[in-house]
């Protein structure tokens, strides 16, 4: 989440505590509502977050409208190091990983920038991959290249590393939340697919190269309804056969989803067809330049295994029939339900003002997260699930819901003051 450090520091100084007071957990009586909100969003301490939340809720000025505007407001970023930062570190669950960054020399704290997260292949590091990428992009992009052992980006710890990398870079630098991209080569491309599919609402686009997917995870391509992909693969690739990308493209074409597929005939003296030709770069950069995330699409498709129940934009699958569950390996086939591709799926559409239609498969309960960009709070809402009426009535926005969701999502463009839980009525034979 964006750190609004200057406003926080100012409030602490006004309270007469100096720099040390910034680290104290107690809420200062004179602290502004803005400062309280920013501290709530950024603190890593759950107890402190709860104390701050209750203080905010007790403030008569803390309406949904006011708090929303505070969260959306660009804060004052502190000046950070620029150019190449090859030896940064990031800690996830107590484990330290190398992180390499490239920040435009012209970086200005007042301007927002696109972020490209690059995942290296087997035998490489983030620092090596950074060197290959930094000369390819203009001054409008920040690059973040984490290192994961053996390039095993198809694991849950690697997934967590990528997500934490994005969060950490956004804390320090002024990133446009609608221009975050994920790319990778070889094993890194597999990671771009898997992580990108499970967390599609976060990204403006995915760019996997020389990679592919096992057919057991192809159903998760359904999550990419609103997330364009740019695929590059060599026809003579002897490491990752080109048929892997061709099968993905066929699936995307069947779904009618936005994608670009570039298949080249070139070979590298060492890598053969398993590489990214420089000739493909201009079109890829032009594609990055053109893409913007739509933060609140009116149509969503969500496919989930039992280990990925986090929110997906304005919907979340909460409870399901017995379905497949990935363990540490995101392509693990030891679960028989994975082999049978038994996943939960929801298709949700806002079909007209205040009417939401949902089709749910293997789902027992789901949640809707709503705001005044999606529905009109002054009018009754109708929710239909599998052709049956699930809800009809007026919903009331809540500051507490708004703040709790903002803290979880860390996305100023996805703010939801309404949380509605829907139980799926089972169809009788």
Report phi then psi at 355, rounded to 5.
-130, 120
Residue 316 lies in a domain: yes
Same-domain pairing of 256 and 201:
yes
pLDDT at position 1 is: 40
- pLDDT, tens only, 10-67: 333 333 332 222 233 444 556 899 999 999 999 989 999 999 999 999 999 999 999 9
Report CA-CA distances (Å) from 36 to 2, 69, 98, 108. 14, 14, 33, 26
Same-domain pairing of 125 and 223:
yes
> Among the listed ranges 65-74, 76-85, 373-382, 385-394, which one has the minimum average pLDDT value?
76-85
Q: Print burial letters for 238-258: b (CB count within 10 Å at least 16), e (below 16).
A: ebbebebbbebbebbeeeebe
| Angle between helix 399-409 and 33-42 (nearest 10) | 40
Of 72, 93, 121, the position where a domain reaches its end is 72
Higher pLDDT, 296 or 30: 296
pLDDT at position 9 is: 32
Q: Mean pLDDT across the stretch 63-92? A: 90
> Among the listed ranges 64-68, 73-77, 234-238, 246-250, which one has the minimum average pLDDT value?
73-77
Judged against a pLDDT cut of 80, whether residue 189 lies above it is answered with: yes
CA angle 81, 83, 88 (to 5 degrees): 60
Residue 85: which residues within 8 A CB-CB, separation 6 or more? Answer: 100, 101, 102, 103
pLDDT at position 376 is: 96
Judged against a pLDDT cut of 60, whether residue 5 lies above it is answered with: no
Same-domain pairing of 230 and 101:
yes
Same-domain pairing of 179 and 267:
yes
Identify the CA nearest to 227 among candidates 190, 198, 248: 198
Of 255, 290, 325, the position where a domain reaches its end is 290
> Among the listed ranges 16-25, 158-167, 235-244, which one has the minimum average pLDDT value?
16-25
Structure tokens at 252: 């995307």
- Specify whether the CB–CB gap between 194 and 162 falls below 8 A: no
Same-domain pairing of 19 and 135:
no
Judged against a pLDDT cut of 80, whether residue 82 lies above it is answered with: yes
- pLDDT, tens only, 91-110: 999 999 999 999 999 999 99
- pLDDT, tens only, 328-343: 888 777 788 999 999 9
pLDDT at position 56 is: 97
- Specify whether the CB–CB gap between 66 and 403 falls below 8 A: no
What does the alpha-carbon distance between residue 394 and residue 397 come to, in Å, rounded to a whole number? 10
Same-domain pairing of 37 and 65:
yes
3-state secondary structure of 317: strand
Same-domain pairing of 263 and 385:
no
> Among the listed ranges 33-37, 125-129, 312-316, which one has the minimum average pLDDT value?
125-129
Residue 429 lies in a domain: no
Residue 253 lies in a domain: yes
What percent of the chain has a predicted confidence (pLDDT) above 90?
Answer: 77
Of 290, 314, 344, the position where a domain reaches its end is 290
Residue 96 lies in a domain: yes
pLDDT at position 77 is: 83
Residue 78 lies in a domain: no
CB atoms near residue 359 (< 10 Å): 15
Q: Mean pLDDT across the stretch 346-356? A: 95
Judged against a pLDDT cut of 80, whether residue 8 lies above it is answered with: no
Same-domain pairing of 132 and 229:
yes
pLDDT at position 28 is: 53
Please provide the size of the chain in residues.
429
How many distinct structural domains can be found in the chain? 3
Looking at every residue in the chain, the average pLDDT score rounds to: 90
Residue 250 lies in a domain: yes
Question: Which DSSP string do the residues of 131-183 spell out, in sequence order?
Answer: HHHHTTS-TTEEEEEE--GGG-TTBHHHHHHHHHHHHHHHHHS-EEEEEEEEE
Same-domain pairing of 90 and 138:
yes
pLDDT at position 252 is: 98
Report phi then psi at 86, rounded to 5.
-80, -15
The structure tokens 């087997």 sit at: 122
No. of helices (H) and no. of strands (E), the chain: 11, 16
- Specify whether the CB–CB gap between 197 and 203 falls below 8 A: no
Q: What is the three-state SS of 85-124?
A: EEEEEEEECCEEEEEEEEECCCCCCCCCEEEEEEECCCCC
Residue ranges making up the domain that contains 33? 5-72
Higher pLDDT, 162 or 19: 162
Q: What is the CA radius of gyration of the chain?
A: 22
CATH number at residue 145: 3.40.50.1820
Residue 132 lies in a domain: yes
End-to-end Cα distance, the chain: 48
Residue 368 lies in a domain: yes
Same-domain pairing of 340 and 255:
no
Judged against a pLDDT cut of 60, whether residue 276 lies above it is answered with: yes
pLDDT at position 29 is: 53
Same-domain pairing of 159 and 239:
yes
Structure tokens at 274: 């398993």
Same-domain pairing of 150 and 281:
yes
pLDDT at position 428 is: 64
- pLDDT, tens only, 141-154: 999 999 999 999 99
Residue 236 — pLDDT band, cuts 50, 70, 90? very high
């Amino acid at each position: 989440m964006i750190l609004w450090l200057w406003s926080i520091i100012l409030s602490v100084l006004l309270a007469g505590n100096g720099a040390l007071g910034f680290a104290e957990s107690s809420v200062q009586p004179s602290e502004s509502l803005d400062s309280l909100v920013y501290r709530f969003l950024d603190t890593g301490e759950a107890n402190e977050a709860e104390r701050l939340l209750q203080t905010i809720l007790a403030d008569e000025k803390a309406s949904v409208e006011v708090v929303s505007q505070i969260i959306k407001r660009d804060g004052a970023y502190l000046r950070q190091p620029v150019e190449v930062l090859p030896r940064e570190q990031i800690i996830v669950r107590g484990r330290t990983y190398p992180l390499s960054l490239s920040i435009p020399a012209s970086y200005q704290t007042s301007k927002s920038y696109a972020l490209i997260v690059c995942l290296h292949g087997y035998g490489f590091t983030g620092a090596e991959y950074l060197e290959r990428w930094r000369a390819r992009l203009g001054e409008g992009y920040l690059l973040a290249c984490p290192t994961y052992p053996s390039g095993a980006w198809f694991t849950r710890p690697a997934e967590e590393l990528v997500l934490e990398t994005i969060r950490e870079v956004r804390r320090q630098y002024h990133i446009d939340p609608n221009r975050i991209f994920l790319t990778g080569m070889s094993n890194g491309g597999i990671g771009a697919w898997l992580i990108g599919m499970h967390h599609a609402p976060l990204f403006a686009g995915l760019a996997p190269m020389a990679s592919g997917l096992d057919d057991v995870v192809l159903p998760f391509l359904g999550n990419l309804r609103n997330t364009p992909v740019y695929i590059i693969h060599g026809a003579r690739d002897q490491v990752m056969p080109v048929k892997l990308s061709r099968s993905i493209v066929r699936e995307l074409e069947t779904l009618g989803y936005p994608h670009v597929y570039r298949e080249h005939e070139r070979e590298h003296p060492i890598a053969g067809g398993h590489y990214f030709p420089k000739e493909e770069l201009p079109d890829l950069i032009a594609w990055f330049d053109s893409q913007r995330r739509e933060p609140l699409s009116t149509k969503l498709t969500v496919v989930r295994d039992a280990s990925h129940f986090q929110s997906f934009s304005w919907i979340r699958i909460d409870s399901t029939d017995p379905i497949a569950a990935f363990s540490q390996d995101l392509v693990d086939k030891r679960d028989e339900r994975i082999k049978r591709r038994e996943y939960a799926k929801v298709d949700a559409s806002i079909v007209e003002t205040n009417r939401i239609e949902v089709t749910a498969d293997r789902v027992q309960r789901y949640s809707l997260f709503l705001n005044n960009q999606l529905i009109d709070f002054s009018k009754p809402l109708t929710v239909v699930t599998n052709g049956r009426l699930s809800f009809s009535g007026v919903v009331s926005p809540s500051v507490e819901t708004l703040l709790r969701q903002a803290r979880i999502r860390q996305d100023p463009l996805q703010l939801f003051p309404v949380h509605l839980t829907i139980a799926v009525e089972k169809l009788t034979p």
